Chain A
Amino acid sequence: MSFPVRVLCASLLAVGLVMVSADRSDAQIAVKGETVYTVSGNPIQNGVVLIKDGKIENVGRANRVRIPDNYEVFEARVVTPGLIDARSVVGLAGYYNQAHDQDQLETSSAVQPELRAFDSYNAREFLVEYLREMGMTTLHTGHGPGAVISGQTMIVKTKGTTVDQAVIDETTMLSITLGSSVRNNFSSPGTRSKTVAVLRQELIKAQDYAKKRAEGETNGLDLKSELLADLLDGKVKAMVLAHTAHDIMTALRIQREFGFPMVLEGAAEAYLVIDEIKEAGVPVIIHPPMIRPFGEAKNSSFETAAKLHEAGIPVAFQSGYEGYVPKTRVVRYEAAIAAANGLGMENALHSITLGAAGILGIDNRVGSIERGKDADIVLFDGDPFEYLTNVERVIIDGEVVYSKE
């Protein structure tokens, strides 16, 4: 998506904040790790990460990177990039689970791509803080599944007290749902076929609109058509929830027909159609492995992520959208289950850092410990996936936003 002015302002604000805080403490940071997982390269034993003005200044072996005298030094056994939740509703969905804090699904109409996530993101939501303390520094969050097109998603850092301080991408994807859940929220569409018919009709109308827009014949007043045209023009992506194999095939069919950029999410039965997904070149934001095996997810498997990875399909993890307890899942925990079921520790870590950043289109900023990238760093006292491991510190944009004790 083109970089909107609002994002620019927000980014300037964010930089401003970092500079203010840097002035206040006058401290840059050096993080020493027994193992530093840069993710973009091999793990570094006895590594050092230098952080300056919110960015990663340098990273390397301790004997190669000199720590300047005025840097505050933190040490940890394991250092990783900030972790990325590739699909959440946190911030729109609050932990009370009462009507007043549930804004992830609007049911007045089944097709509402114009709904912006950042108009209802609550940066002070407790679950944002909770996820931050688990090492999650970036969330791709927004409207949930349950409508044909429920609305937009956005990307935030788990920091700040306002959406402007948190947001790094205002409009990332449109949330589209195939399968049986739409009928629970709307009288129509009431079947899979009708859902697809509604979606195709909207996209066909949008093709016409996009053509007119390209010719300067639109006035920008039709928000819905604007967004759908953005989708067809490749400025936003479609994130399509499809759990069953036949719903996944439907998603791929529609994507072929209209040619928009697409990411699959959920995908409980992805392992049945791996070749087809691979051929379509579509990444998968897989369901939480610990999802309850009921309903459309009844055929979910702990090994799906490993199988997709093995096939060369980009995989990231989602916390999903719980309607009961626990109100959110934690992607670090979910990736751990995949790690222990065939994916392996380093692949799992890649999928919740650089892999997720790639799928979300933000790998120029986050996802790895590389010079020039945002200083989003997590300090652990052990393997991030081990049950007994604690997060000791979380750093976002060069600021320590969480310290244990």
Chain B
Amino acid sequence: MKKMILLGLLMCCNILVLQAQERPQVFEGAEILPISGEPILNGVLIIQNGKITAVGAAGSVTIPRNADRHDASGKVIMPGLVDTHSHIGEGDGGDRSSSMHPDVRILDTIDPRSKTFNKAMAGGVTTANIMPGSGLLISGQTVYVKTRPANTIEEMVVVVDEETGIFGGLKMANGTNPLRAGGTPGTRAKSAALVRAHYLKAQDYKRKIEEADGDQEKMPARDLEMETLVEVLEGKRIVHNHTHRHDDILTAIRLSKEFGYRLVLQHVSEAWKVADEIAEAGVLGVSIIGLDSPGGKMEAIGIRDKNGMMLEEAGADVAYHTDDPIVDSRFFLRMAALGVREGMSRDRALEALTLAGARMMDLDHRVGSLEAGKDADFLILSGDPFSVYTHVEQTWIDGEKAWDRSDPEDRKYAIGGYDIFRFSSNHSHHEGN
């Protein structure tokens, strides 16, 4: 695994070498929403070699003499959107042979040429946590990617920490999706018992590693499942836990506290019922989805657009996610806008689409805001991000224009039409693949 990551890093380095001669690019005149700071009405954004080199008000930023200058007046520039829960890439996860597959990596199954990435870019998504489904208690390892055009998944992967080589989280689920009529688990209590037993085993495995103290003779036999769970126990790998009902949310929190893992609650349909408990629990984050109506499944009858507002008021860190294709990536901005309508503050809603999500993937040092030194991932919008009439005009990733609405080929992915979306399969997200 590390070898592969190293290869990936080498490729990135190559790109950087190629870009070493690149001239700075300057975007002027737009309203800039840096997220990490106040909106800048007449802003300047400078990027070079895939990174942001400066952001500020016109006049306060020195524009390099050799820069390519882009007039963005009348536009809005904001960071590329960070989607904390997506199923783009047409990958899959664990199978029905077991209810827990911490060894499974979705990375190994993603089609980098999938048109779902074009669709995501059309919606402004530049970083995504691609997850296996929710039909299992542990369906596998997730992968953090940039949605940019690529031939190999290695070119898309974002490594959280070069030392550990970790590039994703662990997908877990509770509630009804992992239940099997007449099978195991058949109840919520059994689900929790199975998860506890597996983590207890992992604690034991971790203890053996620690007792070996570097002595290869004393090391336990390699076990991919246990190795992954040890990363979770050590806080290096974040758990992304699908959960809807208020009591299931609290169960997810209870298990995370017992084993001390870092938890992002995912979906959290009934967050509004336990917003204070969630905030007090000190979970790493709460990643919520918005749907156009409640219902469709029993667990989701309690979903409300006021979740964002309630969690914000309670003091929790809130992100939004698409769960694409449950909500199409092209409606990601819209989802947060509906949260604003129900009382969430505009600033927090924008953060929930960007920097908050980055924090929930340990990627806030690289993406989620427009700050010098961060990856040059940003959107040029035709207007207010929360207006229905606004379109994403350009999506830039790592300093490259990756999607451009004015290009007829690219525009297709924003609109749809004949033979644009040829997916290999429909999404069986709740089935567990």
Contacts and interface: CB of A to CB of B under 8 A. Distances in A.
Interface string B336-361: 01101100000000000000000000
14 contacts: A95-B296, A97-B297, A97-B298, A130-B293, A298-B423, A299-B419, A325-B291, A325-B297, A328-B292, A329-B292, A339-B388, A340-B388, A385-B388, A387-B388
Interface stretch (B126-134, B235-243, B326-334, B371-379): B326-334
A36 B415 CA distance: 31
A326 B325 contact: no
Given A294-B423, A388-B340, 16 more contacts: A94-B295, A290-B328, A293-B420, A294-B421, A294-B426, A295-B426, A298-B421, A299-B417, A302-B414, A325-B296, A325-B300, A340-B389, A341-B415, A385-B388, A387-B340, A387-B341
Interface in A261-311: 269, 271-272, 290, 292-295, 298-303
B386 interface: yes
A96 B298 contact: yes
A388 B415 contact: no
B294 interface: yes
B211 to A, nearest CB: 47
A366 B282 CA distance: 52
A149 to B, nearest CB: 26
Nearest to A294: B426
Instruction: Place the interface of chain A in its size category.
Output: 35 or more
A326 B423 contact: no
Interface stretch (A21-29, A177-185, A330-338): A330-338
A293 B416 contact: yes
Contacts of A302: 414-416
B387 A386 contact: yes
Contacts of B292: 290, 326, 328-330, 333
Contacts of B417: 271, 299, 301, 303
Interface in A332-378: 333, 336-337, 339-341
Contacts of B419: 299
A95 B299 CA distance: 11
User: Contact size class for B?
Assistant: 35 or more
Contact of B295 (A97, A330, A337): A97
B301 interface: yes
B116 to A, nearest CB: 10
Nearest to A295: B426
Interface in A128-176: 130
A191 interface: no
A389 to B, nearest CB: 7
Given A95-B294, A97-B298, A387 B334 contact: yes
Contacts of A271: 417-418
Contacts of A336: 388
Interface in B296-336: 296-298, 300-301, 325-326, 328, 331, 334
A294 B388 contact: no
B299 to A, nearest CB: 9
A398 B76 CA distance: 43
A94 to B, nearest CB: 8
Given A327-B294, A387-B337, A292 B325 contact: yes
B179 to A, nearest CB: 15
Nearest to B418: A299
Nearest to B337: A387
A98 interface: yes
A3 interface: no
Nearest to A344: B389
A93 B419 CA distance: 32
B197 to A, nearest CB: 31
Contacts of A301: 415-417
A269 B341 contact: no
Interface in A88-113: 94-98
Interface string B152-191: 0000000000000000000000000000000000000000
A127 interface: yes
A319 to B, nearest CB: 9
B334 A325 contact: no
